Amino acid sequence: MYKIIIHEVGPRDGLQVEKTVVPLAEKISWIDGLCAAGIDIIQLGSFVNPEKVPQMADTDTLFRHFTGNKPASVTLSGLVLNEKGLERGLACGVEMFCLGVSASETHSQKNTGMTTAEALRRIVPMAKEAMAAGKIVQASVQSAFGCGYEGPIDREKVLYIVKAFLNAGIRNVSLADTAGHAQPQQVEDLYSAIRALDPSVELACHFHNTYGLGLTNCYAALKSGVTYFESAFGGLGGCPFTKLPAGNVCTEDLVHSLQRMGLRKDIKLDVLLKVARQVGRYFDRELPGFILKSGSIVDFQGHAEGGSA
């Protein structure tokens, strides 16, 4: 079995819609916990205008702090939307650049102020610049499975964007379910179509739990050969520029489901749950994650914790 990579996006996607700005020291404490849990990739933030997204104002500072204060096994990722963001990311220690183009014209305009075609013309050269600088690059198609404003998205438009990424030499391609519209058959169909274009491409997924299908879609992606899974602590998150923002797939729930299938038992679920509790206490509300409420059904040796039914 190929290795499943967990890409924690809580410090970015999980916090960007929150009204309460989280202090730097609190973020550092949570990210330290993610590192201790054995998460593979942590998205520390996005390089956006802090007036539009105040939660991301300390992104550069976070990267400078963790560049010398993290396990070697952890990769630091950051989201960039434009050339200025790429410049900032290169200056402060980003190891993996995440760039994206929305397949929805409405979402693209709201999120970046550009049409899909304009965004694609800018993102591809940025990706090439980052790769030339020796950085890992992941390019995503946002709103790949549907849009809260436009409804269904033409499959061929998604594949057109993916082809542009592949032609630029980008080896890691993600499909982002920005509005949470994905369903399992659609997930398998789209990823199968991408693998037909290039069997060697590394596939990533980013699902939101708007309609309760997040983990189901993750399983469909797993069966389709996806190896990179993006999720957020406590199930926080949502795009502030989509019609109905909703949380990401919860990291603790995703890891728990993988461990029940015998995968990624090296990740310390108890440490992830501790981080989620810290986050819940800070925001003073119950988070949507299920395992946070129920506890794990399997211990780290793979034996059932409870008795028979």
Q: What is the pLDDT of residues 246-273, one digit of tens each?
A: 589 999 999 999 999 999 999 999 999 9
Residue-wise pLDDT tens digits, 88-121: 999 999 999 999 999 999 888 987 888 999 999 9
Q: Encode pLDDT of 33-46 as tens digits.
A: 999 999 999 999 99
Catalytic residue (choose from 92, 98, 205, 239): 239
Q: Are 101 and 63 in contact (CB under 8 A)?
A: no
**pLDDT reported for residue 237:** 76
Name the packing angle between helices 251-260 and 269-283 (round to 10°): 160
Contact criterion met (CB below 8 Å) for 132 and 173: no
For residue 305, the model assigns a pLDDT of 40
- Mapped onto helix, strand or coil, the DSSP state of residue 48 is coil
% of residues, the chain, pLDDT over 70? 93
Which pLDDT does position 297 carry in this prediction?
A: 87
Average pLDDT, the chain: 91
Q: Which residue from 104, 171, 91 is spatially nearest to 137, judged by alpha carbons?
A: 171
Place 203 in a pLDDT band, splitting at 50, 70 and 90: very high
Q: Please report, rounded to a whole number, the percentage of residues in the chain having pLDDT higher than 90.
A: 77
Residue 73 burial class via C-beta count within 10 angstroms: exposed 0-12, middle 13-18, buried 19 and up = exposed
146-164: per-residue pLDDT in tens?
A: 988 889 999 999 999 999 9
Give the confidence band of 238 by pLDDT, cuts at 50, 70, 90: low
SS3 117: helix
The string over 48-64, giving b where at least 16 C-beta atoms fall within 10 Å of a residue's C-beta and e elsewhere, is beeeebebbebbbebbe
**pLDDT reported for residue 25:** 98
Clarify whether 239 is annotated catalytic: yes
Give me the pLDDT at residue 307, please.
Answer: 35
pLDDT class of 84 with cuts at 50, 70, 90: very high
Between the alpha carbon of residue 42 and those of residues 24, 122, 211, 229, 286, the distances in Å are: 16, 25, 25, 12, 23
Contact present, 174 and 140 (Cβ < 8 Å)? yes
Summarize the confidence of residues 55-73 as an average pLDDT: 96
- Residue 307 to residue 309: CA distance in whole angstroms: 7
CATH fold label, 5-294? TIM Barrel (3.20.20)
The DSSP code for 5 is E
Q: Is 290's pLDDT higher than 50?
A: yes
